[in-house]
């Protein structure tokens, strides 16, 4: 093994190096999106048989092994993914149906309890992980206001457990009007080092995933599997969402687009 110094080139990147964006009930935040596109993966939540203090069963997200085109069309791929074979609808199940999860880098302002930006401006780099419900809200805001990068968003948490948010575009972007804040943005944008798909779920091979599924679902029988397969693609890819939600989100190809508006050039805003 070679000798290594205490240098950044020897440091590995952990998914815990950057904070994930989460809010408590009624908490407010002001953020600015840093990435042009969100990273997206189809994922299953697989329970591990261990229980938390509140009595709920813990588990982990795993990347679905289904073919991308098949997943986009049907919301499941029983041939290529062991999870899809036994996945069931609902939240309290051993193996969840495939759901799209997104990850994107954001800048979070230091604010007071009311969500107002405190001076001098201080920004933190965080990773926002969300599902189709919040993706659809961001899609709608982008359609109305244009490229969301270089804009501020006001966020209010409406449900803590499932991180339900109200999302509104703020009247102005504070960091774009502050020289010191621009310097912070330039520095933070340069240190985005985490492979975002790693945040969305664990990626394992077919046999390992099949073993995890077998351990998680010892009592699922063929009738249960058949019942699960009858669920619609809209149910598979959303939680209490209208049937049209997934179709609208899928058409955007995980971008946050804007009709008839120019894209924001962060390099130009930050001075190259």
pLDDT digits over 135-170, tens only?
A: 999 999 999 998 898 789 999 999 998 899 999 999
Lowest mean pLDDT among 126-130, 221-225, 253-257, 267-271: 221-225
pTM for this predicted structure? 0.74
Q: What is the mean pLDDT of the segment spanning 5-31? A: 74
Peptide bond into 87 cis (omega under 30): no
Residue 76 pLDDT > 60, yes or no?
Answer: yes
| The CATH number fitting domain 24-253, selected from 3.90.198, 3.40.50, 3.30.1070, 3.30.950 | 3.90.198
Distance between CA atoms of residues 177 and 34, nearest Å: 16
CB 144 within 8 A of CB 154: no
Q: What is the mean pLDDT of the chain?
A: 77
Predicted pLDDT at 212: 79
DSSP 176-221: GG-HHHHHHHHHHHTT--S-HHHHH-B---HHHHHHHHHHH-TT--
What percent of the chain lies above the pLDDT cut of 90?
44
- Mean pLDDT of the region 179-198: 88
pLDDT at 100: 94
For residue 238, is pLDDT > 50?
no
Which residues make Cβ contacts (< 8 Å) with residue 210, sequence separation at least 6? 82
């Amino acid at each position: 093994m070679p000798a290594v110094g205490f240098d950044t080139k020897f440091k590995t990147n952990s998914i815990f190096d950057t904070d994930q964006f989460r809010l408590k009930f009624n908490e407010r935040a002001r953020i600015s999106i840093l990435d042009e596109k969100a990273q997206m993966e189809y994922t299953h939540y697989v329970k591990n048989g261990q229980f938390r203090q509140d009595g709920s069963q813990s588990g982990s997200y795993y990347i679905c092994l289904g073919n991308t085109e098949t997943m986009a069309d049907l919301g499941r791929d029983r041939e290529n993914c062991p999870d899809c074979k036994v996945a069931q609808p609902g939240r309290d199940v051993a193996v969840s149906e495939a759901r799209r999860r997104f990850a994107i880098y954001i800048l979070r302002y230091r604010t007071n309890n009311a969500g107002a930006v405190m001076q001098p401006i201080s920004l933190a780099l965080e990773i926002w992980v969300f599902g189709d419900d919040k993706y659809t809200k961001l899609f709608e805001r982008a359609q109305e206001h244009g490229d969301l990068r270089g804009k501020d968003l006001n966020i209010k948490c409406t449900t803590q457990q499932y991180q339900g948010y109200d999302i509104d575009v703020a009247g102005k972007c504070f960091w774009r009007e502050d020289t010191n804040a621009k310097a912070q943005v330039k520095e933070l944008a340069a240190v985005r080092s985490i492979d975002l798909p790693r945040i969305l779920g664990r990626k394992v091979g077919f046999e390992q995933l099949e073993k995890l599924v077998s351990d998680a679902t010892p009592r699922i029988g063929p009738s249960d599997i058949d019942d699960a397969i009858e669920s619609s693609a809209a149910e598979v890819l959303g939680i209490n969402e209208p049937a049209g939600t997934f179709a609208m989100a899928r058409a955007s190809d995980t971008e946050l687009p804007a009709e008839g508006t120019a894209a924001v050039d962060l390099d130009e805003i930050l001075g190259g």
